[in-house]
Chains A and B, each alone.
Chain A
């Protein structure tokens, strides 16, 4: 139940060797990098302020890939021989030399089609116009412009004191389609007015002559021809894409890696011509780092104890065995423990699996969850799958004890009878009290265990308040255990234990100690009597009110946390109850319907109850158990790997 041992590593050298150092770090794959500047002990090192030469190039590659319809990334960087930014630029230029012409042609055709379609919209409204277009455009004193104007801007035209007329002849959500006429002498000025109003002019091609209907049909022919040309250009682009696909993908992947690796330079600190990289490495991986740097002369690698730089907090790697490892996911959700702190993964693994087994005890359904766990672990999430196999196993164990197989509560009876057990000890609806009392008993056991863990870990942290006087410390444990003992002895065993010494020494004194935990701790630590550690002006009244309410909350939490475990028993019965509903529904079905209801009912109960139980246990773990001893605040260990650099 510990965390992995780490070492602080300082890598320094001549600035020209910085890339070599980063290569070494990436080759090692287990180096957690920190900033090498701006911390105590960094000796005036400053960050490097330089532009990433690969960033803009990567954008251009990305644009090229997207233009050619090539999916970025997923290439094989090792197959790309390019190294410098210039080399990458040369390849880009080479492909662009082919691509640019085709892309421009595609854009030109797109625009032409769009222009002609727009002209076609215009002329479609002029089909009834018998006047020849060429005559309209050859008027000596008047200019005519066709086009579309944003509909919102039409009303602005009334405010211009200029010589023009606007004739709208169609409108959609955004545009008003129409034409404006103005004197030729004022053409430039009026064009400028319309341009500022985002009038998009539709040029009626010169060859469009004749009446409106003729112009319309000519345009349709032209659009069809343009579309054919566009298809041809598109095919050529696809050919180009095929030709360069692999090369471009490989280059993109390598460039992306280079960009990411260059970004790592920003974490290095620099002073004059020297650089400094700081970071952490698990002690067991030191050899890998040494191997990565063995061939790089001129670089100094220094190993130091993890706490030797007060400005840097070592990251936490939870050390877990094969059986408990999947449950690190839950611990991570709550927050990692600080480096060197208590790793609760094993504790969570045991309690979580056990509680799941108790609450979801069914041999058949447990087996399915067990199998499903393998599938999820392989295809989706390894930790999630691992948790499911372990929970499924415990569900099978408790299902066997309950005699429940896919909700059939007597299926295992013959087996038990054959080994001489005539009656199973736990039957959901026959042993209600036993189940509920056992659930509370389990809760009390887990709470006491959590308090004991808190006492040990608090002593390790030298936190006297939490270890001795806290509500989860020695005083809290004595008080809680005494109350439980007194209740059980008086109510269940009919014993008289509430004697004066019992009440004074095991209930009152621990309570007073919890109430006065701050002054008592200060007295032990500093041999000084103070009501508050930070507030010198704390009055007795303030101290009393503050602690009275806190005390109230502690007492309430003892009761509510204990009772909270009743849900464990509740779910044992709820599972049996839900399956009873399935069985009842089955009874009312025909011979064909019965297996269908059986399968659907089991799947429904498994999915719904399985999820609820899983969530309820997380709740119990986090609120009832973790809150008693767990101190998070650890930093996640993120080793710099080529994959990570690629992602960035």
Chain B
């Protein structure tokens, strides 16, 4: 109990930092900008991004680098929060570094499949390599699955990948690798939560991960149905085995006849959204945001609050990247504003 109480300051700090999150007014202002330079200048004026963009020259900054710095802002905030009470020494609180690592691995696997592994060197954010024990930069030199395993040999991702690569006889399918890495991530976070957090906190986190997984599964299922017409069993096989909604309901979702039926089905659940949307990702980001905001304002657990906060950071990044792209390609920014998850 005392251990739980000792992290109350972190919970309060997370709520304070959460107060600096971008608002719909911020997004409105951002969609009024006509160039990446103006947008960068605006972001520099916000408390959230002022620090990371301090030395950046708005008029000459590269769009890609601006996006990377915005992602870095979330990562650095996470580091600041875990170091606030020395929680970075607790294995559970390394979850965001792990999440960043698995996203990088997935990104690498995509590039590897396309034969672009050398380009991965430019794609991997530099700040990640600073804090990760995985030799991500070395991966750019991998020419086959054996090389990948050799580079990852001393990391925790070796075993799950090895099992899959051996089972497939050398070069496994990308989607199964991606699924395996994601499954490994969620299982590790849940295992660490059970080990290093209280029972109540672990249960709360399980629910939050269930929400996260439900919405990832829904997004993927929608895409698989809408663009490729996959059947329910295939979709189910390619989905994460974590859920808040319940396995039966998720199964019913996967077996919907059309993608429109899927949306109608989800609108009957807690993931219902009122606002109109064009892209399924935006719809689900809104659902995720709604759930996560509630968690941040009610939880007493630093672990759960931090996990929820990092989810919000990811949504913010995605919103800003969407706006940057809109500005760059001179899209109708009033339409872009409608597609912002806030």
Q: Which residues in A have some Cβ–Cβ distance to B below 8 Å?
A: 52, 55-56, 58-59, 62-63, 66-67, 107, 110-111, 114-115, 118, 150-156, 159-160, 172-175, 193, 196-198, 200
* Cβ A174 vs Cβ B334 within 8 A: no
* Cβ B126 vs Cβ A156 within 8 A: yes
Q: CA A55 – CA B336 in complex, angstroms?
A: 11
* Cβ B334 vs Cβ A173 within 8 A: no
Q: CA A62 – CA B337 in complex, angstroms?
A: 14
Shortest Cβ distance from residue B151 to the other chain A in the assembled complex, whole angstroms: 12
**1/0 per position for B42-71, CB-CB distance to A under 8 A?**
000000000010111101111011001100
Shortest Cβ distance from residue B28 to the other chain A in the assembled complex, whole angstroms: 9
B333 in the interface (beta carbon within 8 A)? yes
* Cβ B334 vs Cβ A58 within 8 A: yes
* Cβ B33 vs Cβ A174 within 8 A: no
Q: CA A17 – CA B119 in complex, angstroms?
A: 58
Kindly list chain A residues whose C-beta atoms are within 8 Å of the C-beta of B299. Answer: none
Kindly list chain B residues whose C-beta atoms are within 8 Å of the C-beta of A155. Answer: 126, 129, 137
* Cβ B126 vs Cβ A111 within 8 A: no
B2 in the interface (beta carbon within 8 A)? no
* Cβ B32 vs Cβ A198 within 8 A: no
* Cβ B140 vs Cβ A159 within 8 A: yes
Q: How many residues of B contact A (CB 8 A)?
A: 38
Kindly list chain B residues whose C-beta atoms are within 8 Å of the C-beta of A153. Answer: 126
Kindly list chain A residues whose C-beta atoms are within 8 Å of the C-beta of B125. Answer: 152
Q: CA A152 – CA B136 in complex, angstroms?
A: 13
* Cβ A111 vs Cβ B60 within 8 A: yes
Kindly list chain B residues whose C-beta atoms are within 8 Å of the C-beta of A175. Answer: 55
Q: CA A200 – CA B68 in complex, angstroms?
A: 15
Q: Which of B303-342 contact A (CB under 8 A)?
A: 332-335, 337
Known A56-B332, A107-B37; judge A156-B55 contact (CB<8 A): no
Q: CA A160 – CA B59 in complex, angstroms?
A: 29
Shortest Cβ distance from residue A43 to the other chain B in the assembled complex, whole angstroms: 22
Q: CA A118 – CA B55 in complex, angstroms?
A: 12
Q: Which of A62, A63, A66, A114 contacts B59 (CB 8 A)?
A: A114
B158 in the interface (beta carbon within 8 A)? no
* Cβ B62 vs Cβ A200 within 8 A: yes
A to B CB contacts below 8 Å, 24 in the list: A52-B334, A56-B333, A58-B334, A59-B337, A63-B32, A66-B32, A67-B34, A107-B37, A107-B59, A114-B57, A118-B60, A150-B68, A152-B72, A152-B127, A154-B126, A156-B121, A156-B124, A156-B129, A159-B141, A172-B55, A173-B54, A196-B119, A200-B61, A200-B62
B284 in the interface (beta carbon within 8 A)? no
B130 in the interface (beta carbon within 8 A)? yes
* Cβ A63 vs Cβ B33 within 8 A: yes
Q: CA A150 – CA B61 in complex, angstroms?
A: 10
Q: Which of B35, B54, B334 contacts A59 (CB 8 A)?
A: B334
Instruction: Determine which residue in B54, B62, B68, B334 has the highest number of CB atoms from chain A within 10 A of its CB, and name it.
Output: B334
Shortest Cβ distance from residue A148 to the other chain B in the assembled complex, whole angstroms: 9
Q: Given known contacts A52-B334, A174-B52, what 15 new A-B pairs fall within 8 Å (CB)?
A: A55-B335, A58-B334, A59-B31, A63-B33, A110-B37, A114-B59, A118-B57, A150-B65, A155-B126, A155-B137, A156-B124, A159-B138, A174-B56, A198-B65, A200-B62
Q: Which of B59, B119, B130, B333 contacts A152 (CB 8 A)?
A: B130
A156 (CB) vs chain B CBs: closest residue: B121
